[in-house]
Structure 1
């Protein structure tokens, strides 16, 4: 079954003492830094895809809480091979952003990445390649500073 016509991204974060850290992953195929990203499979919702992708890309047996973010973006459909299976006239797909709390949870990388690094906000923001990743990171950072995370999905 082709992937669903939407994209998700998940920004991993953790508290280390009184500091915040954010995980960035280096994509193997493009050699760029990004957050967790992927698409829906079968009849998944964006929330279900976010949970699955976070588990797969971060090597998690049981993912921590996933929080929906307000950040959204659009990705040109031509970037996805499965786009040929989508309805005619699908030129862009929505990208939904989430955050995952990995405080006290060990993460590892999948075969899709060559590195995972924990960084402070400024250095994470600096290395991320895609604007949508930087926007979601910025929203998450502001929410964490304001102690204003939405209710978790899980």
Structure 2
């Protein structure tokens, strides 16, 4: 499930891309849900864990969705029989004025403009979510949905 971190720096918007340690590719914040979590709860938890957030941030659900074959997940063996496809939901995370601390799943972060971030992302679903986020920011169309990472 991609989470697209962004921040506003003056009149500009920058987007964070993270370099995965295990696959050496650039992506958005990713990760799946745990038992009983809604997609929004999983998105909030993963964003907080992977970005080391220690304060409340805004989380925005995006319309972008994708499907990933279950065979690409190591945990597939413990999932219910007949699970062949996993739904991927997308969210945006506003990190304006917030410092991140990467977890050990990533080796680097880059804050880039839309075109540069889009070119660097490895997965189509990440590029689709980033494109939607970019258009929504241009249209000032990000209604606040849920707060996450309150300590």
- TM interval, shorter chain, is over 0.9
Count of matched residue pairs: 147
List structure 1 runs of 4+ shifted beyond 3 angstroms.
Answer: none
Alignment match of 2:90 (pick from 76, 87, 97): 97
Which blocks of at least 5 consecutive residues in structure 2 are unaligned? none
- The residue that corresponds to 2:107 in the other structure is 114
Alignment map for 1:67-86 (pairs within 5 Å): 67-86=60-79
Alignment match of 1:18 (pick from 11, 15, 32): 11
Q: TM-score under structure 1 normalisation?
A: 0.92
Deviation, 1:81, is 1.8
Partner Cα distance (2:115, 2:74) in 1: 34
1:51–1:63 Cα contact (<8 Å) kept: no
1:52 and 2:45 matched: yes
1:131 and 2:120 matched: no
Partner Cα distance (1:150, 1:91) in 2: 33
Q: Cα deviation per residue 1:74-117 (whole Å; 9 max; x = unaligned)? A: 01101112212222221110000000000011112110000011
